[in-house]
Structure 1
Amino acid sequence: MKAFVLRSYGSLRLAEIDKPLPGDDEVLVRVRATSVQPYDWHFMRGQPYIARLMGGGPGLRKPTFAVLGADVAGHVEAVGRNVTDFRPGDEVFAMPKQGGFAEYALVAAAELAPKPKNLTFEQAAAVPLAASTALLALRDQGGVQPGQRVLVNGASGGVGTFAVQLAKAFGAEVTGVCGPRNVDLVRSLGADEVVDYTKEDFTRTGRRHDLLVDIAGSRSGRACRRALTRKGTHVLVGGPGGRWLQPAGRMVATLAASLFASQRTVLTDVVRCTANKRNLMTLTELIEDGRVMPVIDRSYPFEEIPAAIAYQEEGHAAGKVVIGARLQ
């Protein structure tokens, strides 16, 4: 099969590799669409360097994963002998065991779900990692409740656009923070208030929130605590990247400082975020009900995956960057 292969850091090449065979509890998916996100270019470059020392990270001297691509949507090609929930031809979406930057991807059956009926393959490929990360940050780590005030810092990106919609679906009053060109987009997603960070610092408005989902990482932990109620929760999802420590260094410093504060600070581990079947089914229900929809910034053909990664790395995408048609 054709796949974009990472042999060494920074070098993604189109190559012919063996088509994987599903194990007993696995499903082989013929990829119709995938998506690109910061996860991919961080792994492609092996940055921040400190991540190479961590389990599940990029790998110390060479890449851990030969094929990147954390999301897939497509058709079931073959199933392992223990798999009874899926059959060839089923339309599905998931986070694959072997990456989505290929014609076929391996997925554990327990992490696979039927594709939402009202989404195209490209739309469905925008969902698994980004939406599951937002779900984890809000529901599992933020403990969001109806009527709470939630602020999403970085509301126009892949995770942020899902976080705004999910917070509204959970009954919260939502403030989104974004740049000037995305104010209308964030408002259209249901945000009750939108803060243009070029005009206003959300940490100095005097408004307090029960939950701050911090994707952009544009303010210090101390500043963010000013935007929280006395018992509020600060969920760290991401932040500006760097070659050596960031965003890991900022996250560790924020967690350490929070030990002396009344507010709670928690870290969302995006690398280990699992888009399992249960979470995907929760998202599917919200999507098919019309309460959540993926936002697509750009779509690229399969052969232009490196260009898609380069665009994602610029950090200006509003919503998701997806990969559509496969090479024939």
Structure 2
Amino acid sequence: MSGKVRVPAVLVVLALALFPLVGTTASAADKPAVELSRSQAGTGGSITVNGTGWRANALLMMLICGRSSTDRGVIGGTNSCANADGRAVTADAKGRFSKKLPVSEPPVPCPCVVHVATVTGEKAEADAAFLVAGHDVEPLPKQDSGGRLSVLTDTRLDGSGGLLTWFGAPPSRTLVFTVGNVGTAPVKDPVFQVGTSHGVFAPQWEEQQWRGTIGPGKKARISLPVELTAGAHGDYTVSLKFGGKVLAEQPWGVGRPWGVTLFWILVCAVVPAALFRIGMAVVDRIRPRGPAGRVRRFGAG
């Protein structure tokens, strides 16, 4: 009698059949996902947002956004979201989180979603459908499914700061990139969204329209202006979005406006010195001139 254990052929076939499913389940679990404790709530209430599949220890931002859907994303960027009532959360070592989010009305009508996105590092986002009770609901704008734009080359920021920027003027650059139409229909006068973000804050989006038509299989070189607020400095990120999807991101290091600092140093040094000289001149004018002066005053009396 042999000591080998014979495995039934049925078990072997079953194991081989389940092996691809195991791999699929594991890969699906790695994709960021969001679940809500309730699919509908009114303003003033709160919901619990649960997330899985995120990068370990990732810093995330949760927002309630209008004019959005789970398949088209947030149309209009964070300008469509209730930014003032957003909440930040950090995923744990296994990429999970659970946090309450206050319910507030977004600045645009529903359909609405709870939008969760990474703040730093590799870009990742996920949406969950949500209805703000009592908030207006309007159909989403029609989507042109024929034309689709994709960035073909790395983006860059052209330009440099001048003397006025050194003294606190708004820093400005030109975002240059090449896009190609990978769809089946031409894209006419596309409207891009250019966003600037500083640190952990969400991007501030601004719509910019490029005049022209990009045919199927064609490409175009596009330049869009980017400007920050006066006195801005530090590490910024410029993002490019089209059709609700982020196409590219470009870092931008803005130097400190040392001219403003120099100006205040001069003010703090020159003004006290000038006041001191004026005060000394006044004291010198009103103080007595000596014995001769006193004799003349007494004689006059």
Indicate the TM-score class for this superposition, using the shorter chain for normalisation.
under 0.3
Larger radius of gyration: 2
TM-score when scaled to structure 1? 0.24
- Between Structure 1 and Structure 2, which shows a larger proportion of strand residues? 2
TM-score when scaled to structure 2? 0.25
- Between Structure 1 and Structure 2, which shows a larger proportion of helix residues? 1
